[in-house]
Structure formats: C-alpha cells, structure tokens
C-alpha cells in the first residue's frame, strides 16, 4: 500500500498555545512573509508530496539559508487541524530520535533530514520544519 506525505517550510513561533491555532491558520502566511523578509531567511523542503510504500522509510528534507538557527523543529499537521510539535533539535546535536522518528541537523550543509521508519498510512499528513 502506498500513501503520501506532504512537506512545507514555514517560519513561526510554536509555543503560542492551542487557542491560537485557529487564529494562526488565518494569519500564518502574513507572519511567514514578515519573518522571511525580516530575517532574509529562506526554507526549502523537498517535493511538495511524497508517495511512500508502507513499511519503507520516508525522508523529508529541510534546507535553509543565510543564518544558523539555535534550533530546528518539526511539526505534523493533519487536514483541518493546527500543527502538532514532533521534535526539536539544537544546533549542537547531530541526531535526535523519538520512536519511529529520526531527525538530523547539519549546520554546515544548512540542512535537516526528517525520517519516518516503517511508514504507515496513518503517517499521511503535512510535515513542517521551523527555525528559531
């Protein structure tokens, strides 16, 4: 069985609370553009959608430019819901794991890789990387 994963690069501060999730949905693009303009930072993620065979490892890439963030975060967003925090990795860490998830952070390449091992249809979602 194959399923898809979607990834997008967005800038935002994650610790605003659950009440703000619906508000964020309406203004996220504006905030993203403002942060992108102020920091002159660009985030690029690999293809917008990935087709993954069940049981295989899915890998999403997040590339950034111009400055080295103190940490990088990954989120999962299901349709019609706000982003849910998955993992945070600091600039001095090379790798972080949580269950079937693994994140690497290479400040030299200015890149983070997000791996989901033993992929399942329930993993279908939008995955976001955020810098701070």
**The domain spanning residue 7 has which CATH number?**
2.60.40.10
- Measured CA to CA, the distance from residue 73 to residue 87 in angstroms comes to 6
* Full domain range(s) for residue 65: 2-131
Read off the pTM: 0.67
Matching residue, tokens 């103190």: 70
Query: Which of 69, 88, 85, 65 is CA-nearest to residue 77?
Result: 85
Residue 121: burial class (beta carbons within 10 Å; 0-12, 13-18, 19+): exposed
For 65-71, what is the mean pLDDT? 77
- Measured CA to CA, the distance from residue 120 to residue 123 in angstroms comes to 5
Q: What is the pLDDT of residues 79-118, one digit of tens each?
A: 899 999 999 999 888 899 999 999 998 888 888 899 999 9
Going from the C-alpha of 19 to that of each of 66, 79, 81, 88, 132, the distances in angstroms are 33, 17, 12, 22, 22
How many structural domains compose the chain? 1
């Amino acid at each position: 069985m194959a399923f898809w994963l979607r990834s997008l690069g967005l800038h935002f501060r994650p610790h605003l609370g659950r009440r703000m999730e619906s508000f964020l949905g309406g203004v996220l693009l504006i905030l993203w553009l403002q942060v992108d303009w102020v920091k002159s930072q660009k985030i690029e993620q690999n293809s917008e959608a990935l087709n993954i065979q069940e049981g295989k490892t899915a890998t999403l890439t997040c590339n950034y430019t111009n400055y080295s963030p103190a940490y990088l975060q990954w989120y999962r967003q299901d349709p019609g819901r706000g982003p849910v925090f998955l993992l945070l990795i600091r600039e001095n860490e090379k790798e972080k794991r949580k269950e079937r998830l693994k994140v690497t952070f290479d400040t030299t390449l200015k890149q983070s890789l997000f791996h989901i091992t033993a992929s399942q249809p329930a993993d279908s979602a939008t995955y976001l990387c955020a810098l701070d």
